Structure 1
């Protein structure tokens, strides 16, 4: 397991790169599908990473609290050939077992992860209604799988976004397993 911290590629104010990806609902999803929300939260994630597994409750809480106003999208960019537990079928099973109600998409070519500069799982990006990046970083302050969160960073930043307040710290790196890149 390679542990990485998220890096800055997209900068605050940059527009979310578009995508067209298959969801576990067997439908194609693109960024424009989420135009009617007050913001978009894109989280690069996977099924097998212990850092993502530790965030299951936090992910479901995020969706429960913010899913009516903020579109929440999970994107799995891992190489499922070398990591079959991250296959499309396994994504469907994981979402069902974990109660994910947000869209969970597969990035088979890994192009979307590269456009966003995603490095680890989880690696969250929060955009406003104009699809401008307002925050890139951690879900909460539990930085190891066994840690207990005492600060809900993403929920606090979404609340600031929704109330028109400025997010002071626009980059607060997430930590997790490296995205499993395909061999070139």
Structure 2
């Protein structure tokens, strides 16, 4: 594990397009098909990272809490499954079902989508507005494994709630921190 911060895509960047296989449904899923009318949350996660495991329950709550208000939610794993078999599509489907993910859990085997987004770590979060322009990139909240801070999703929730309310998202954004993406 190499502790890695997110790269922080420039605000206003257009969301890179993608079509990837969903490990839960077996169908191909595109950015357009998960796009929310108000906001789209794109999360780069994986199965084995302790930083992701630390926040799994909050990821499930985010999927549940924002399922209705015009917010699209999608998770993508881009880790090299040959070197990290726990992050392969079969295990992704198993974990996603076990945890109750109510959002697609996509596998980026080529790693081209992760590179297009500038994703560096798991977890890494990106929120786009109705026009698919980046309005937030960074951390879920201040909680990290072992730091005693509760997992609340505060930063992501504040950004999504601002968009839902028709307000501007705060420009004060902290990078996410986690395990580096396992590049081929």
Normalised to the residue count of structure 2, the TM-score between the two structures is: 0.93
The residue aligned with 2:177 is 175
1:150 CA displacement:
6.5
The residue aligned with 1:22 is 21
Equivalent positions of 1:131-146 (< 5 A) are 131-144=132-145
Q: What RMSD, in angstroms, separates the aligned Cα atoms of the two structures?
A: 1.4
1:34 CA displacement:
2.7
CA distance in 2, matches of 1:170, 1:19: 28
The residue aligned with 1:166 is 168
Count of aligned pairs: 181
1:157 CA displacement:
1.1
In structure 2, list runs of 5 or more residues that go unmatched.
none
The residue aligned with 1:87 is 88
Q: Runs ≥4 in structure 1, deviation > 6 angstroms?
A: none
Distance 1:76 1:35, change over 3 A: closer
The Cα offsets for residues 51-85 of structure 1, whole Å up to 9 and x where unpaired, read as 00111111011111112221110000000000000
Q: Give the conservation status (yes or no) of the 8 Å contact 1:38–1:128.
A: yes
Q: Does 1:112 align with 2:120?
A: no
The residue aligned with 2:50 is 50
SS at match of 2:58: helix
SS at match of 1:126: strand
Normalised to the residue count of structure 1, the TM-score between the two structures is: 0.93
The residue aligned with 1:156 is 158
1:121 CA displacement:
0.2
Which one is further off, 142-151 or 155-164?
Answer: 142-151
Q: Give the conservation status (yes or no) of the 8 Å contact 2:54–2:144.
A: no
The residue aligned with 1:13 is 12
1:169 CA displacement:
2.5
Distance 1:145 1:100, change over 3 A: farther
In structure 1, list runs of 5 or more residues that go unmatched.
none
